[in-house]
Structure 1
Amino acid sequence: MTERRSITFVIAAFNEQDALPLMHARLARVMDALDADAQVLYVDDGSRDGTWEVMQQLAADDPRVGLLRLARNFGKELALTAGLDHVDTDAAMILDADGQDPPELAAQFVARWREGYDVVYGTRLRRDGETWLKRATASAFYRVMGWLSDTRIPRDTGDFRLISRRVLDALRQTRERQRFMKGLFAWVGFRQVSFPYEREARVAGGSKFNYWRLWNLALEGITSFSTVPLRLATYVGVFTALAAFAWGLWIIARTVLWGDPVQGWPSLMTVMLFLGGLQLVALGIVGEYLGRLYVEVKQRPLYLVGDWRPRR
């Protein structure tokens, strides 16, 4: 494994003009000390502040910096895909622009990679700077995914990881438009190992992921790597039909044998609203999967590049 000597740090950013200079100062010190030919690729995901100007200044000051600017905001998953598509080194290491995933751990990730592992992923032992609700919902999501999906997606693991050249090549073959990168990293397989670490607070600025965006990302992950919701809708429908049939027989028997009157309008409306709600939920689940098929069949490009500047 000693011949693998080059690595690219991939950092996708959206409106991170305050965090990037602080993050790069730390990363530059790491690259200076790293026993490898290291460079960094910053991806601007259509930022609306001064992020691109900050990136240009970083590239002017450091010849190891390459820049990629997308034509608009495509979202973190596609920005990350764009960055990995442009990596030409032996490995790539993914970092967040906010500094929560410490670049100082890079040497330890590289050491595990040189032992023969193709993916070294960071598992969070602690999440500083995040509310208890965000920690709780993130923990619940990973456990639900573990139950729903046949692909083993590591718990409490984000995008912070090192991936080898052959994993990069494998990811380039997965061109689905609706992307959940954490699932794709697990799906490609190869030798993977966990690296426990403590996640730090942001170095500057605020999170761009509100609860609505996190909810949509969770739906993306579930529908990309599991069909269990579709089967659950079928099972609930069958169970409801059997229960309704049994209840109907009970009403007939009670009326014929004991002369009890059939329950009136309130109970009828309750049953109708209950069944109507179940039908709408089932249609919504089917609609989620159908909408993703609609996006896939159009075969639009995953992303569009507005500016590409390799390192000098």
Structure 2
Amino acid sequence: MVMKLISIVLPVFNEEAGIQVTIDTLLNYIEQQEEDYELIFVDDGSSDKSVPIIRRMLAQHSNIKLVEFSRNFGHQLAITAGLHYAKGDAVVVMDADLQDPPEVIPQMIKKWHQGYQIVYGKRKQRDGETFFKKFTAKMFYRTFEKIATIKMPLDTGDFRPMDRVAVNQLLKLHEKDPFVRGQVTWIGFKQTSVMYHRQERIAGETKYPLSKMIKLALDGITSFSMKPLQVVNIFSVVPLVSGVFYLGYMIASSSFNFAAVGITILLFTLGLLMLSIGIMGSYLGRVLDQVNDRPSYIVSKTEGFEERNKGIHSFDVRQINNN
């Protein structure tokens, strides 16, 4: 039987406090598995000692590989880059903070051997996260389910193995600012889930503050739903209808005050107008990113690979399709 190669892709951003534990844990995990493994760390512009630690371990272990971005391009593009460099028959995406426990991977790989091409981790519990983060995440997934054109599984992140066929199709998608977990759902294929307990970070702080959570949510919604634009169209008639009814009420009650009516309608209209412009601006921003035709990300250096390990590389969706 031909030995299967499993790639594990780990985006890294300022994980100095815990990256050594992560590497040691994964190396220990790999030693107990039947398949061959490679660990691909994608550094997303870290400013701490994450890269030197990875580089030191890379010199000792041939199955550790490193991709370095020229700057911070974002978590989702770091995943995309890792998928591009991965050579495995299956590719596992997981965070570098061990909140996604390696001991769940054998269950996922077993499902993959059974013929499932995508096996996503479904969180039954989330430790070490604030009530606010848990609540907003829950609300996002359920809102996304209602308005999106795809049925993305609830309470799932990017932790999942994907078959090589699915990975190849994923890399053909032409999006400059990808929402990976939505893309994985969109491409289809035979999918299933494995329940797991998401653990608390082993060290350091979350790299997804509120601002990045909001951006990720907006990227997901504007990538897979046109309903916000449809809502804007509905809102556009609300001020007019409200104005007509309010005007009728003022006349009928003999308390007509033109200034009060005018100011009320004006403020309401301006509020809806600003909301509409903001929503449409989000969509236009995505169009601008595509039209600018810049590389999706720039790789300054790679180590541990047999090829593409020298010089500076920039990748866009067209180059990904041709590789």
Q: Same fold (TM over 0.5)?
A: yes
Task: Give, in angstroms, the shift of residue 266 of structure 1.
Answer: 3.1
Instruction: Please state if 1:172 is matched with 2:206.
Output: no
User: Is residue 28 of structure 2 the alignment partner of residue 34 of structure 1?
Assistant: no
State the distance in 2 between where 1:86 and 1:189 align.
22
| Root-mean-square deviation (Å) | 1.6
Aligned match of 1:212: 211
Output the CA distance in 1 between the equivalents of 2:272 and 2:140: 23
- Which residue in the other structure is 2:105 paired with? 106
Quote the Cα distance in structure 2 between the aligned partners of 1:108 and 1:3.
20
1-structure distance, mates of 2:2, 2:60:
29
Identity over the aligned pairs, expressed in percent?
35
How many residues matched?
306
Q: Please tell me whether the aligned partners of residues 7 and 86 of structure 2 are also in contact (alpha carbons under 8 angstroms).
A: yes
Hey, what's the Cα distance between the residues in 2 that align with 1:150 and 1:68?
Answer: 34
Task: List aligned pairs for 1:62-211, cutoff 5 A.
Answer: 62-211=61-210
Q: Is the 8 A contact 1:16 1:51 kept in 2?
A: yes
Q: SS at 1:159's partner residue?
A: coil
Match of 1:303 among 297, 300, 303: 297
Give the Cα–Cα distance (whole angstroms) in 2 for the partners of residues 48 and 276 of structure 1: 43
SS state at 1:209 partner = coil
**Deviating runs (4+, > 6 A) in structure 1?**
none
- Which whole-Å CA distance do the structure 1 matches of 2:293 and 2:33 have between them? 41
Counterpart residue type for residue 274 of structure 2 = L
* 1:220 positional shift: 1.0
- AA partner of residue 75 (structure 2): K
SS across alignment from 1:157: coil
Shift of 1:309: 1.7
Question: Amino acid of the residue matched to residue 305 of structure 1?
Answer: V
Task: Provide the C-alpha distance between the structure 1 equivalents of 2:120 and 2:61, rounded to a whole number of angstroms.
Answer: 27
SS state of the match for residue 304, structure 1? Answer: strand
The match for 1:278 among 267, 272, 275 is: 272
Q: Match of 2:280, as an amino acid?
A: V
Give the conservation status (yes or no) of the 8 Å contact 2:65–2:303: yes
For residues 39-82 of structure 1, the C-alpha deviation after alignment (integer angstroms, 9 at most, x for no partner) is 11111111001111011011012111011111111000001100
Match of 1:12 in 2: 11
Which amino acid in 2 is paired with 1:37? D
1:70-128 Cα offsets, whole Å, 9 max, x none, are: 11110000011001011112010011110100011211111000000000000000101
* Aligned residues of 2:62 and 2:304 also touching (Cα < 8 A): no
* 1:138-159 deviation per Cα after TM superposition (whole angstroms, max 9, x unaligned): 0110001001101111111001
TM (norm. structure 2) is: 0.91
1:250, 1:16 → 2: CA distance? 62
Instruction: Give the corresponding residue for 1:45.
Output: 44
TM-aligned CA distance change 1:261 to 1:110, over 3 Å: closer
2:313 maps to: none
In the TM superposition, what is the alpha-carbon distance from 1:182 to its structure 2 partner?
1.1
TM score, norm. by length of structure 1: 0.94
Instruction: Confirm or deny: 8 A CA contact 1:64 1:311 kept in the other structure.
Output: no
Q: Is the 8 A contact 1:98 1:202 kept in 2?
A: yes
Superposed displacement of residue 4, structure 1 = 6.8
Which residue is 2:257 aligned to?
263
Unaligned runs of 5+ in 1: none
The answer as to whether partners of 1:91 and 1:162 remain within 8 angstroms in 2 is: yes
What's the CA shift string for 1:206-233, capped at 9, x where partnerless?
Answer: 1111111111111111111111000001
Distance across 2 between alignment mates of 1:13 and 1:175: 24
Distance in 1 (alpha carbons) for counterparts of 2:2 and 2:165: 15
Question: Which secondary structure does the structure 2 equivalent of 1:221 belong to?
Answer: helix
- Amino acid across the alignment from 1:78: L
SS in 2 for 1:147: helix
Aligned to 1:291: 285
Cα drift, residue 239 of structure 1: 3.5
**The 10-residue stretch of structure 1 (184-193 or 239-248) with the greater mean CA deviation from structure 2:** 239-248
In the alignment, the residues of structure 1 paired with residue 134 and residue 219 of structure 2 have an alpha-carbon distance, to the nearest angstrom, of 19
Q: 1:3 to 1:227 in 2, by over 3 A?
A: farther
Offset from partner CA, 1:5-40 (integer Å, 9 cap, x none): 111011010001121110111111111111111111
